[in-house]
Amino acid sequence: MPKKDRIIELSYNNHEEAFVLPINPAEFEFTGGQNNQRINLLNIGEANLLGHRGLISGSLSSFFPAAKSPFRRFADREPEEYLALLQKWQNSGQPIRVIISDCDFNMAMSIDSLTRQYREGDSDVYFTLELTEYRFLNVSTVQTSASAKQDNGLKERPNNSDKGGGVAAGTAASGGSQKYHTVVKGESLWSIAKKYYGSGLDWQKIFEANRDKIKNKDLIYPGQKLVLP
């Protein structure tokens, strides 16, 4: 088989099965995003909180040459055999490994979709593979006891009747009447004060009552439970 400068190899189950693309794509592109979050701050406006790296994704498009193709010398099997392997790997629920020799690219990836195309008068089979990075997760199992539940905050769930953040009464067993607000995305101290007191200028009352939770008046986060004085 003629030697190629770039080798694109796809393999499955620790190289139990593998093949090299007989015809390299004319071009390919892989993109990796960043899980950043935009928030609105009281006296600053919109800010960007930098998150962790997102998953890399991209596609490979080429063709598998048929017996009569002038490119057949690059292939070691029939087009349908290549496709059958790809379909088998996709249906297995396991990732494949993609190695591109001259790009320092070696990554476990899922096959998100496999598109095949047949053209009139052409016995070659064209294909597109949509791929996304696969991360192997080591998640340990944690057992909880009844006593542990008293320390994990579950006993202070927000009022489920108010889906957009809202007021919940204090500990019912003690007869307390303290009110709270659970912060939701996009809220600020100003908007919370306006909601409960009719004026955003009363934001400082909430800030002073929650100094143990709020270190910066411009930074509050979804899920925080604030005292309403």
Fold adopted by 158-228: Membrane-bound Lytic Murein Transglycosylase D; Chain A (3.10.350)
| pTM greater than the 0.75 cutoff | no
Q: What angle do CA 175, 179, 180 make, to 5 degrees?
A: 130
**For residue 182, which of 202, 198, 159, 149 has the smallest C-alpha distance?**
159
Query: Residue 75: pLDDT band by 50, 70, 90 thresholds?
Result: very high
Say if residue 192 is exposed, middle or buried (CB neighbours under 10 Å; 0-12, 13-18, 19+).
Answer: buried
- DSSP conformation letters of 45-111: EEEEE---EEEEEEEEEEEE--TTSTTGGG-SS-HHHHHHHHHHHHHTT--EEEEEGGGTEEEEEEE
Residue 199 confidence (pLDDT)? 86
**Domain 8-133 CATH (choose: 3.40.50, 2.40.30, 1.20.1080, 2.115.10):** 2.40.30
Domain range annotation of the chain: 8-133, 158-228
Q: Is 169's pLDDT higher than 90?
A: no
pLDDT over 70 percentage in the chain:
82
List, in sequence order, every beta strand (DSSP E) within 120-188: 122-133, 167-169, 179-182
- Work out the mean pLDDT of the chain and round it to a whole number: 84
